[in-house]
Amino acid sequence: MVAGALSLAKGRPDEVEPSAVPLTNAVCLPLCVDLDGTLLRTNILVEGLVRLGLGRRLAQAALALARGRAAFKAAVAERAPVHRSRLPYHQSLLA
């Protein structure tokens, strides 16, 4: 973890640099980032469906659609977990 807060460099939002503010004086808030299309170059549901393939596991997951979209996504994730190291990340966000 970098000690210090981030400030805009030269007023440009695409360039940030650490400031001299000590971590003890900074407010620590969680960083929330959208996965699909933002952090990842793909959609996590599509990745799960590809891992399921055609067959029985896909049919079982499709039955969950009757319980709604969230239940379907949970069923896909349960039947075809996607390991985070194999996902295509936007490297510019991780740098």
- Kindly list the domain boundaries of the chain, sorted by start residue: 1-30, 33-94
One pLDDT digit (tens) per residue for the chain, 95 residues: 444 444 444 444 445 555 555 556 667 788 787 888 788 888 888 888 888 888 888 888 889 999 999 999 999 989 888 888 888 888 887 77
- pTM, entire model: 0.56
What is the dihedral sign for C-alpha 61, 64, 59, 88? negative
What is the dihedral sign for C-alpha 30, 35, 39, 44? positive
